[in-house]
Each structure stands twice: as C-alpha cells, then as structure tokens.
A and B are shown apart, each in its own frame.
Chain A
Amino acid sequence: MGILEVKNVGKRFGGLQALSDVNLSVRENSVHAIIGPNGAGKSTLLNCLVGKLIPDTGSVMFDGQSVLGRAPYEINQMGISRVFQTPEIFGDLTVLENMMIPCFAKRDGAFELNAISAIPAQRDIMEQAEHMLEDMNMADKRHMHAAAMSRGDKRRLEIGMCLSQQPRLLLLDEPTAGMARADTNNTIDLLKQISDERDITIAIIEHDMHVVFSLADRITVLAQGTPLVEDDPQNIKGNPKVREAYLGESA
C-alpha cells in the first residue's frame, strides 16, 4: 500500500478523454517519476492530485484519506506540496518573507488573524525560515526581492518553501523545464539530497530523461491518458512499448 493511491481515475474535457483508468501507487519515501510524451495527461493527472481538477471517475487516496473534493489549500495541509513548472513564488516579497509564509501556514493553519504582533516577534518562524534559507544556500539573498532572482534560484526558493512545510509528499511538475544544463544538474543534486536526507516521498513529472533516470526509483509511463507500464528504471529503458510511445511505431 503506497502513500498515494490513484485508482481508476478518468477525466474528460468535452470530446477529449484526457485520462482514463489511471492506476498509480507511490511508495513511501521513494522517488516516483511519471513520464510520457506531450499530451499524455501528465499535468492533468497532477492537477487531479492537488485539487485543481476533480476527476470524473475513480479515487485518489493520500495516506488513507481521499483528497477528492477538497480545495488545494486543504490538500496541502494534509501534507502534499507542489512545485510548479514555472516557479510560483511571491515575487513582490523578499526571499526571507517568501520562506516565512509556508512556516506560518504550517504553524497556524489555513487562516490566522494575527494582525497586531510584529513579524520579528515570531522568533520560531524567523528561525525556521533562516534555517531553511541556509539549507538552500540562499542565506545571502534573504533581503532580495524574489522576482529579481535567476530562474534557478527561484526554483530553489520554491522547493525550499515547499520543504519548510515538512510535507510528506512533494510533487514536482517538470522542475527543470527551460533550465540551462548547469542549473538542471544543480536541481538534480538538490532533489537527490532532499530525498536522501529527509523523510519524504517525491513524485516528479518530467520530460528530460537524464533527470528521470538520475533520480527515480520507480517510473510510470503515461500515453494517451492511460498508464502504459509501471516499473523500475532499468526495465523501462529497454521496454519496447515505451520506445513505441515515445518514438512512434517505426522505431
């Protein structure tokens, strides 16, 4: 029984069957990659997991509880954090403030009317945020406007923000899309470090095979909205079905 269990999930947009009969089981403390060609339904599946979309059929269980019908913030409070394809951070705020917000969310829940106390008086939050910035090697950027940073740094900050909530499952949507090789390798190293050092499960959607094979313990291949195979990385590489889905029949 995995920490995330997806059963028979289907989603239709008008005439397009984006997902049909998707079954997926993510084991606790593993790195699970979901790959597939464009339009395979990877992002739709991810959106079904975080509450952005509600599947037409099937069930999504996280740690024995259904996530269906819950709002994104509720699912996040259950312990699922999401990293977006283009880094979603608070561009108008400083790096330190960015890091403090998830710490507040973790401590105070979805809403807290804490309107009179000063921020520096929240010592535990300040400490946590500073600590996470050091972990992410960003302590020197703490007073920078988040929007002014490079894309690689924004990604790093976003991952740090997700981690400071101590999630049990971290979802990454093409975390290296549009990155230079060096940034990509840095991100791979960071994710490896995270999965080694922390008690965390990672599910990653990725296009870049280099990233997938350097990180994943388990791979699910999606094609045309259904899972083609789910297997260990070494078996995926040689699988003829996967080659066909990616490269067309002639290959």
Chain B
Amino acid sequence: MFKLEKTDQTLLIVVGILTLFAPFILNPFPEGSAMAQFNAGYPDLMQRFVIFGIFAIGFNILFGLTGYLSFGHAAFLGVGSYAAVWMFKLLSMNVIPAIILSVVVAGLFSLLIGFISLRRSGIYFSILTLAFAQMMFALAYSVLTPITGGETGLQLALDDPRIFGASQTPEGNIPVPGLFGLEMRDSFDLVMGSWVFTFNIGYYFCAMVMIASFYLAIRIFRSPFGLMLRAVKSNQQRMNYTGLNTRPYTLAAFVISGMYAGLAGGLMASMDPLAGAERMQWTASGEVVLMTILGGAGTLIGPVLGAGFIKYFENIFSKINSTILHEWFAFLPDGLEDFIVAILYPFIGKGWHLTLGILFMMVVIFLPGGLVEGGQRIRSWLQKRKSEKNTPNGSTEPAE
C-alpha cells in the first residue's frame, strides 16, 4: 500500500490515526478536574502541533539528511504567512490559493538564499542563513512596512478588494478563511459525561496536510534522491569523485525544506489570518532546530515528536502558576509546602524555557538520537527482559 516498505507504512498509519484521534488522545482528563489544565486538545494548540510538525518535517529533510544546519528557516515560514495573507486580501478567503502561493513564494526565496548560502558549508552556512533571515526580519519589521504591515503585522481590513470574494460579510464583518464554504474556525463539541472533545475544521484541514507532507517526506527519504542527500552528509569528497555534483542536491533539499516551511506559514495564516515579523525572528528559527534535534534528526517521526513536545511545554507548562502549585502541595505542612513551591517556581510559568532547556540538555547528552532513540532503547530493553524471562523455562526461541 502507498508504495512503501512495511515499517514505513505502519509508521504512516500510526501517525494518521494519532492525528485523526488527537482531540480524544490529547484530552484525557475530564473537564473541571484538577488535571484538566494538562489537556491539550483545544483547536488552537492542536493546529500548532501539526503546523509545527510540518515545519520540522521539512527542516529535517535538509538538516537530517544532508547535515546542513540552517539557522534561518523561520524566514521562509514568515514569507509564507505574508503571501497567504496577501492572497486573502486580494483574491478570496479560500485557503487553497493562499497556501499554494505561500509554498511558491517560500520556494523562490529559498532558491535565492540557498543558492548563495550553499557556497559554504558547516558553521559558515549556518551563519549565512542566519544573516539572511535576520535581514528579512529587519526588512519586514520596518523597511517594507507597506507590504508587511511592519510592527503591527499584516492584517485583513474591511476595504480589501478580494476580487473573487466579498470585501465584507453581509453583517459588515471581515470574512474568515475557509475551504469552499467550510470555515476554518468552525468547531463541533462532543460532550461525553464530563469530557468535552472539540473537533475543529481548521485542525482537520492542517492534519490532512501534515499527513500528506509526512507521506511525501517518507517517499523522499527512501528515494535515490534521499540516498544522495545522506551521501552528502557522509562524504562530500567521495561524492565529487564519483561524478556527482553536490551543489544541486543540497540546493534541492534546501528549496524543498523551504517550501515545507512556507506551507507551514501559509497554514498558520489560514488558521488565523494575520502575519507578523516576529515569526521570522532567529528565536523562531532556533526553535525548529530544537524540535528536530529533540525528536531525533534524520529520523522520520522524530521532528513531529519534537514539535509536539516543545509546543506542549510552551502552552501547558507556561500556564502553571504559583497558585496552582500551592493547590497541588496543599497537603504538605505549611513550611514544606512553601519550600517546594519556591524550588519549583522558577521552572514553571514564564520559566518554562528553563525546564525545556534542561530537558534538551539531557536529551542531547544521554540520548543523542533524540526521543526516537529513547523509544528504541526502551523497546530493546523490554525485548531483552522478555527473552530473559523466557530463558529459565527453556523456551528460548532462535533468533529469526
């Protein structure tokens, strides 16, 4: 099925099921319970999971396969967002043309930036991409204000032309992005006992796009082109002396990953039709690097896991405040309660970066292959335990 190897096919199906049932999986705690704040099944966050998943999948095609570490990929995401919003302003509120334009524009920008940056490798390449991204950020933030909206960002207005749509709704509001009549912000709540599950059209649209992007990434990983990209990472000297020109290979990888970033940017604007320069800032570029490394660079599922992990922390850990901590530890004697809350306080709320930083360091030091390597270790440990259990009974099975 899907022209994939068995293991890849399983992986794709698992990812598909997880994304489709995410509203259930991410909402395990009943509404109103003390644990409900750990629920992540609300549309806004779920959209962010899959959109940043797409961003990281694309980044991994460049970084995971070729080893070229771009520090400017957020620029392509930002460009994609601007392109989509302009499409909403000028053409119509349909998300399809908006997303197509954002992918195309991001592809063109990455072609230009990649062409120049890929003249160097290693740290020099990273610095070049960072410099380009910061230049683009600066342009978007101030110089190009008529196009980008500058500090306030690019927003829709009531007097936008929208030649294939309406400038205003009959009620005099700005129309919302949609897909042939389906509005992206529309949701449907399913109440089961004390659980509330929200199904959002925007999320499912993004999830479909992510599954398609993931499928495409698997095909690229397993193709002759993917093999060449891994060869670039392994030994460029041998590539050159084997009659292969590494430059177009790396450039193609750069453009593909730039287009993935543009796709993510376009989706972001489709969910919430505004675009700001802060999406292009270097911290945003650094974030996708963290996601990829945290999940496992060069693995298929790693970047998606990393993206989910970081976005979960950003949105859930940052909401815990000292009142909540005091509630949790209320059963302890007063002095001890205050002491523990004082120790934990720097790691929550605005301090979630600290927790993330420590986790990131631990992963890099103990699990260089990221969360995926962690999963593999647990699996092999379980298998070993299982076979040890079997040995005393004399029921050892020959390996394969």
Contact = CB atoms under 8 A, between A and B. Distances in A.
Contacts of B4: 118
A113 B252 contact: yes
B241 A104 contact: no
B8 to A, nearest CB: 10
B193 interface: no
A31 B238 CA distance: 23
A222 B227 CA distance: 41
Interface residues of B, number: 30
Contacts of A89: 235, 238
Contacts, number: 107
B223 A118 contact: yes
Interface in A55-102: 71-74, 76-77, 81-82, 84, 88-93, 97, 100-102
A221 interface: no
A214 to B, nearest CB: 26
Interface in B214-234: 219-220, 222-228, 230-231, 233-234
Nearest to A111: B248
A122 interface: yes
A185 to B, nearest CB: 26
A122 B249 CA distance: 19
A146 to B, nearest CB: 9
Interface in B3-41: 3-5
A205 interface: no
A91 B244 contact: no
A110 interface: yes
A102 B243 contact: yes
B237 interface: yes
B248 A101 contact: no
Given A73-B243, A76-B242, 15 more contacts: A72-B241, A73-B244, A76-B243, A81-B241, A88-B238, A91-B235, A100-B227, A105-B243, A109-B243, A112-B225, A113-B252, A115-B219, A116-B220, A117-B223, A119-B222
14 contacts: A73-B244, A90-B230, A92-B233, A97-B227, A105-B242, A105-B243, A108-B224, A115-B225, A115-B252, A115-B256, A116-B220, A119-B222, A119-B224, A161-B238
